Amino acid sequence: MSQEPQQSSIFKVIGASSLGTLIEWYDFYIFGSLATIIGSQLFPADAGASALINTLAIFAAGFIVRPFGALVFGRLGDLIGRKYTFLLTLVLMGGSTFLIGLIPSYSSIGYAAPILVLILRLIQGLALGGEYGGAATYVAEHAPANKRGFFTSWIQTTATGGLFLSLGIIVLTKNLVGAESFADWGWRIPFLLSILLVGVSIYIRMKMHESPMFSKLKSEGKVSKNPLKESFNNKANFKMVLLALFGATMGQGVIWYTGQFYAQSFIENTCHVDFNDSRYILLWGIAFATPFFVIFGSWSDKVGRKWIMLAGMLLGVIFYRPIYQIFLDDTDVTKIEQKDIASVSDPVVTRTVITGTADSLISTSSTVTLLNGASFQKIQSHTKFADAGKPIVELPDAYKDKKLSTPVFWKFVFLIFFQILLVTMVYGPIAAFLVELFPTKIRYTSMSLPYHVGNGVFGGLVPFIATLIASFSGSTPLSGLWYPIGIAALSLIIGTVYLSNKKPDHKEAESENI
């Protein structure tokens, strides 16, 4: 085995692995982006049992199934090899996505439709659980020892790349077929299109060779006979699995989800920033920050992985609350003075009958434009009772569709960029870190589980737990941040105290160290 593989060869390996992983993320995201339309097409209008299935499909596939996928496919990867296992995850993911696009509507096949969605979503979750570990392991085992961080960091960029691709294809399809047709049948196109992308990726991956390290193990007859037992029943290895989870991936997961998902949700739902503005802010932030995955991954080859990852967690712990406070302050329109207002549109009055009563909700809406270019919609509402004897009840004013002034827009882009920069610090080096923590013969199994528990469970639950904390009495809009801050702080302490910062040995001869 050559110590320094050909540059063109390693870039082919990275390209094939990254493309597949990017498509897996694409497949995973389009369901979330189109959940409302899918719900209206494949689920009955009344809630009932379908609401349960829907909850399971969205909730379980995201959290519960991924770690199981990590175990199932990790084991396979350590038994039969990396190449065929993550080829299988790609086929399962792409096939499930394609089939979701073909499921007849609820009006055609009744409850079979939501049940089929649930089954395919579970397969998607399992496949995603198996994909990442395979891709990271495959790339790392091809990379020279002193460049593992650099090469595996390309895999790390695919999560944001998949998000970009899914948003892009959805927007493009919607514009091409029109909003009405998109809601009717056009939403299937992004799902069906997946098969083309998967086909290309399978073709490329089929031409790749097995990882040289795994091939060597196999030729020497040293492949693990029971990777699950060796990973979790062997104290020396299991203690490293726990250390990886609590000292690194747990913190990485919450930083990842806070920076990329909670931030957008907060700006849109808590600050009530306009739908397009909130997305453009995120897209600019991701675009500026994505190259840093590779920069930090590469830097970790020189200074070690530990302190870069922990610095990302520390900065999150310190800066999350001030950042989100700025989001709140800069979108607080209740303190605007009359002299700052450029114009107020004519009011539009709407009357809505309150369901089940003869009472009405009267809303008066007007658009306020400020001298600095910002604007927002102000809605004043009151309830008018059918019984004339009851007094009118005034409701608090509501503000929505806030369009930001140009300086505030770019300030928000910077704050999102900064948060995603922290994501790149914790996420860029972590694939190489995990790969280096475990021996080749049980690596796929050992690294996949802590990664998916950390990322999928701790990270994936950020929206749920943050909302839960915000529901506590006495909570403020910033209270939900205590969850990612607390978890990141815990991981920071454990990582600081227990992890070692081994710098890659640039003279390491891989063939001697399997």
Partner 1 sequence: MNGLKKALGLLWIILGPVSIIFMFMQAFEKVGLAEEGVHKTNTALQWGIILFIFIPISAGLVIFGWYALKGEYDKLPDDDSL
Instruction: Select the span of 92-100, 196-204, 473-481, 498-506 touching partner 1 (CB under 8 A).
Output: 498-506
483 binds partner 1 (CB under 8 A): no
Q: Does 246 bind partner 1 (CB under 8 A)?
A: yes
Q: What is the DSSP letter of 262?
A: I
Of residues 361 through 390, those in contact with partner 1 by CB under 8 A are none
Told to check if 498 binds partner 1 by CB under 8 A, we report yes
513 lines the binding site for partner 1 (CB under 8 A): yes
Q: How many residues bind partner 1 (CB under 8 A)?
A: 46
Residue 473 C-beta: closest distance to partner 1, Å:
11
Nearer to partner 1, 236 or 388 (CB): 236
Asked if residue 69 lies in contact with residue 133, where contact means CB atoms within 8 angstroms, the answer is no
Q: Is 415 in the site for partner 1 (CB under 8 A)?
A: no
51 binds partner 1 (CB under 8 A): yes
- Helix (H/G/I), strand (E/B), else coil: 322: helix
Q: Which is nearer to partner 1, 60 or 204 (CB)?
A: 60
When binding is defined by CB under 8 A, the residue of 128, 189, 202, 457 that contacts partner 1 is 457
Q: Smaller CB distance to partner 1: residue 54 or 424?
A: 54
Residue 46 tokens, joined: 């009344």
Among 90, 344, 329, CA closest to 208 = 90
Nearest distance from C-beta of residue 487 to partner 1, angstroms: 11
- Strand 360-370 and strand 375-384: pairing? antiparallel
Distance, in Å, from the CA atom of 360 to the CA atom of 381, rounded to the nearest integer, reads: 10
Residue 378, beta-bridge partner list: 366, 399
Shortest Å, Cβ 458 to partner 1: 8
Residue 344 contacts residue 368 (beta carbons within 8 Å): yes
> What CA dihedral angle connects 90, 93, 94 and 100, to 10 degrees?
170
Contact window for partner 1 (CB under 8 A) among 124-132, 218-226, 405-413, 431-439: 431-439
- Separation CA 185–CA 82 (nearest Å): 38
245 forms part of the interface with partner 1 (CB under 8 A): yes
Minimum distance of partner 1 from residue 462's CB (angstroms): 13
The least distance separating partner 1 from the CB of residue 310, rounded to whole angstroms, comes to 15
**Does the protein bind partner 1 through residue 59 (CB under 8 A)?**
yes
When asked if residue 462 is in the footprint of partner 1 (CB under 8 A), the reply is no
Dihedral angle computed from the Cα positions of residues 423, 425, 428 and 432, in that order, rounded to the nearest 10 degrees: -130
Query: CB under 8 Å to 457, separation ≥6 — which residues?
Result: 63, 66, 67, 253
Query: In sequence order, what are the beta bridge partners of 158?
Result: none
502 lines the binding site for partner 1 (CB under 8 A): yes
Q: How many CA atoms lie within 13 A of 272 on its CB side?
A: 14
95 three-state secondary structure: helix
Structure tokens at 373: 């270019």
What is the spatial distance between Cα 117 and Cα 49, in angstroms, rounded to a whole number? 14
User: By the 8 A CB rule, do 123 and 52 touch?
Assistant: no
Q: Does 336 bind partner 1 (CB under 8 A)?
A: no
Q: Which stretch binds partner 1 (CB under 8 A): 50-58, 82-90, 95-103, 271-279?
A: 50-58
Which of 1, 35, 45, 52 is in the footprint of partner 1 by CB under 8 A? 52
Task: DSSP letter for 104, please.
Answer: P
Query: CB of 24 within 8 A of CB of 96?
Result: no
Q: 140 or 267, CB closer to partner 1?
A: 140
- 3-state secondary structure (DSSP) of residue 341: strand
Beta bridge partners of residue 382, listed in sequence order: 362, 394
Query: Counting contacts by CB under 8 A, is residue 493 touching partner 1?
Result: yes
> Between 112-142 and 35-42, two packed helices, what is the crossing angle to 10 degrees?
150
Least CB distance to partner 1 at residue 500 (A): 5
Cα 34 to Cα 78, 98, 187: the distances in Å are: 35, 14, 7
**Partners of 384 in beta bridges:** 360
Name the minimum Å distance from CB 282 to partner 1: 26
Q: Which DSSP string do the residues of 48-61 spell out, in sequence order?
A: HHHHHHHHHHHHHH
Determine which helix (DSSP H) or strand (DSSP E) holds 132, and give its type and residue range.
helix 112-142
Q: Which of 425, 435, 481, 489 binds partner 1 (CB under 8 A)?
A: 435
Of residues 222 and 502, the one with the C-beta less far from partner 1: 502
Q: Which is nearer to partner 1, 97 or 152 (CB)?
A: 152
Select 75 or 403, whichever has its Cβ closest to partner 1. Answer: 75
Q: Rule CB under 8 A: which of 95-154 touch partner 1?
A: 140, 145, 148
Name the residue nearer to partner 1 (CB basis): 75 or 148: 148
Nearer of residues 56 and 91 to partner 1, judged by Cβ: 56
**Contact flag: residue 60 with partner 1 (CB under 8 A):** yes
> Binding to partner 1 (CB under 8 A): which residues in 214-243?
235-236, 238-239, 242-243
User: What sign does the CA torsion over 400, 255, 134, 6 have?
Assistant: positive
Which of residues 210, 268, 401, 510 is near partner 1 by CB under 8 A?
510
Among 2, 9, 36, 55, binds partner 1 (CB under 8 A): 55
Query: Residues in the site for partner 1, rule: CB under 8 A?
Result: 47-48, 51-52, 55-56, 59-60, 63-64, 67, 140, 145, 148, 213, 235-236, 238-239, 242-243, 245-246, 435-440, 443, 453, 457, 461, 464, 468, 493-494, 497-500, 502, 508, 510, 513-514
